């Protein structure tokens, strides 16, 4: 589950002041056999290492991140999976170090992530995961530094959901 957090960490913003980021996204996953699945949703994040990936189709799912943990809420399965993050980066420092690059390559735990930019905003993140799937995440309608409600990063898990700790 760390991979989603790292994807966000890869969104270096060319040294621009960064407080919040919001966008829509399209995530395409292609298996080694050539099977492709495409997901759509929204991303909200802040400089305090909090993020919410909200998948809207073909399935609904929310993935909440903070400095130390990830929580995946899956309404179709009526479950919430939580796990601890063993390592994270300081997002604000990472963004400051990005500079004015059009492409940034980041290696973390043996995975190489390539982040590209368009009009000085994050545009794509590509990588190959541990199962040899090729993943491309394209960001659209990226908005920086617009106020986000603080409670957007607080998970909402219905009481009847199964809770799984990994």
Span 22-61, pLDDT tens digits: 999 999 999 999 999 999 999 998 878 888 999 999 999 9
68 is a domain residue = yes
Does the pLDDT value for residue 3 go beyond 70?
no
User: Distance from first CA to last CA of the chain, Å, rounded?
Assistant: 10
25: β partners: 41, 139
166 is a domain residue = no
Residues whose CB is less than 8 angstroms from the CB of residue 58 and which lie 6 or more positions away in sequence, other chains included: 37, 38, 39
CA proximity to 23, closest of 43, 40, 2: 43
157 is a domain residue = no
Q: In the Cβ-directed half-sphere of 79, how many Cα atoms lie within 13 Å?
A: 8
160 is a domain residue = no
74 is a domain residue = yes
Instruction: Please write the tens of the pLDDT for every residue from 104-136.
Output: 787 767 778 888 888 777 888 888 988 999 999
Question: How many residues are given for the chain?
Answer: 166
CATH classification of the domain holding 12: 2.50.20.10
87 is a domain residue = yes
Helices (H) and strands (E) in the chain, counts: 2, 11
- Say how far apart CA 128 and CA 37 lie, in whole Å: 15
156 is a domain residue = no
Q: Please name the residue ranges forming H helices in 12-153.
A: 91-97
Q: Where in the sequence is the domain holding 130, given as residue range(s)? A: 2-148
pLDDT value for 48: 80
> Looking at the 3D structure of the chain, how many domains does it have?
1
Dihedral sign from CA coordinates of 71, 44, 119, 56 = positive
Instruction: Tell how far CA 82 is from the center of its chain.
Output: 16
102 is a domain residue = yes
- Say how far apart CA 38 and CA 117 lie, in whole Å: 21
């Amino acid at each position: 589950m760390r991979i989603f957090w790292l994807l966000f960490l890869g969104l270096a913003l060319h040294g621009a002041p960064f407080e919040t980021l919001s966008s829509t996204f399209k995530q395409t996953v292609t298996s080694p056999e050539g099977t492709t699945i495409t997901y759509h949703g929204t991303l909200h994040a802040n400089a305090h290492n909090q993020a919410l990936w909200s998948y809207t189709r073909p399935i609904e799912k929310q993935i909440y991140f903070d400095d130390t943990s990830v929580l995946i809420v899956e309404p179709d399965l009526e479950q919430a999976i939580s796990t601890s993050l063993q390592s994270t980066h300081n997002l604000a420092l990472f963004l400051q170090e990005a500079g004015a690059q059009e492409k940034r390559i980041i290696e973390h735990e043996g995975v190489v992530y390539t982040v590209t930019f368009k009009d000085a905003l994050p545009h794509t993140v590509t990588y190959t995961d541990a199962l040899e799937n090729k993943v491309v995440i394209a960001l659209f309608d990226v908005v920086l530094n617009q106020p986000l409600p603080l409670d957007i990063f607080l998970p909402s898990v219905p009481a009847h959901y199964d809770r799984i700790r990994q």
